Amino acid sequence: MAASSCIFCQIARSSTSTILLHQDHKVIAFQDINPSAFRHYLVIPIEHIPTVNDLHKRPEDYTLVSHMLNVGQTLLQRDAPQAKEYRFGFHQPPFNSIDHLHLHCLALPFIPRWRELKYSSLGPLGGFVEAGMLLERLKPSF
């Protein structure tokens, strides 16, 4: 998909009416249009990166994902401090819905409860990868 036709690229360029919860020089954050939890935000890089498979074990990718996670954690702690559990992660191909890297930031419970399945790891088949696990895979060797 060309970046010009990517809905997340359009949101990042402020070409839509999407309300931004956060914006800086690397990422933006906004509410998921089809929330699966009490609070469900997406944090995306402004640069078009298709999927987690396009990230590599290098400092810039590790720093980007770490920043995305930090933004998501800050937003949920601010907006849902009463939540007993948070979940942060990415869908891996072929389970991602949009080919633009996006971190799901969820303040649980899931609504409805069955949506928890969508945010579970499928082991070697992929599925959902927790942000911390992705950071471990991306951590550069020094």
pLDDT tens digit sequence for 84-135 = 999 999 999 988 999 999 999 999 999 999 999 999 888 777 789 999 999 9
Q: Tell me which residue of 74, 116, 20, 24 sits closest to 8, measured CA to CA.
A: 20
**Is residue 39 very low, low, confident or very high in pLDDT (cuts 50, 70, 90)?**
very high
- Please give the Cα distance from 84 to 138 (Å, whole number): 28
104 is catalytic: yes
Distance CA 62, CA 113 (A): 32
Residue range 14-39: mean pLDDT, rounded: 95
With CA atoms as reference, report the closest residue to 30 among 48, 49, 14: 14
Task: Decide: pTM greater than 0.85.
Answer: yes
Q: Are 50 and 101 in contact (CB under 8 A)?
A: yes
Q: What is the pLDDT of residue 47?
A: 96
Percent of the chain beyond pLDDT 90? 82
Average pLDDT rounded to a whole number, residues 60-79? 98
Cβ burial, residue 85 (10 Å; 0-12/13-18/19+): exposed
What's the CA angle centered on 105, arms 113 and 47, to 5 degrees? 140
Distance CA 57, CA 119 (A): 24
